[in-house]
């Protein structure tokens, strides 16, 4: 089963925001577009702090970052593609946000593998991540618990 990529993009834009000018995120990292962390020479190539990208460059960063999230999620939780569309998007959203740190959510991932949605959500709520992400947490929790978009 394949997930709705347009829906995922809308959800990520809602959760990450979209900014065409480089800024420091909540952790002090230089970021642009839809939560794209600027790596290596990317900030310099944009002209330094305050550098800008176009809408099409933003879309390209987002597409590449989604591919990276897919790759990471496949490494962390290989059976994610067997889940329904909505739960696939919830896991990709988590991976987009957490990166490889998602692998530390061992009990959560175990409950996901067992399709024990309620307990998976309990584990998310019992994490520092939950306290840091505001409304994103309950939206992802709803997606996981019900299999319906939030």
Cα(13)–Cα(102) distance, integer angstroms: 20
Mean pLDDT for the stretch of residues 50-69? 96
Domain with residue 91: its CATH number is 1.10.530.40
pTM: 0.94
Assigned token pair, 104? 């530390």
pLDDT number for residue 93: 98
Asked if pLDDT for residue 147 goes beyond 70, the answer is yes
Give residue 17's domain range: 5-146
Helices 55-76 and 5-16, packing angle to 10 deg: 100
| Predicted pLDDT at 54 | 96
Residue 98 · residue 133 · CB < 8 Å? no
pLDDT value, residue 137: 97
Domain count, the chain: 1
Residue 112's φ and ψ, nearest 5 degrees, are: -65, -45
At 105 the pLDDT is 98
């Amino acid at each position: 089963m394949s997930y709705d990529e347009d829906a995922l993009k809308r959800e990520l834009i809602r959760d990450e925001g979209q900014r065409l000018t480089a800024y420091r995120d909540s952790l002090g990292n230089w970021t642009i577009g839809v939560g794209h962390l600027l790596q290596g020479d990317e900030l310099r190539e944009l002209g330094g702090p305050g550098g800008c990208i176009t809408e099409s460059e933003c879309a390209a960063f987002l597409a590449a970052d989604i591919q990276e999230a897919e790759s990471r999620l496949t490494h962390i939780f290989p059976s994610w593609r067997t889940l329904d569309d909505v739960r696939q998007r919830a896991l990709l959203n988590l991976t987009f946000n957490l990166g490889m740190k998602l692998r530390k959510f061992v009990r959560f991932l175990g409950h996901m593998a067992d399709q024990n949605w309620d307990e998976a959500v309990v584990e998310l709520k019992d994490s520092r991540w939950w306290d840091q992400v505001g409304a994103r947490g309950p939206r992802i929790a709803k997606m996981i618990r019900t299999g319906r978009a939030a």
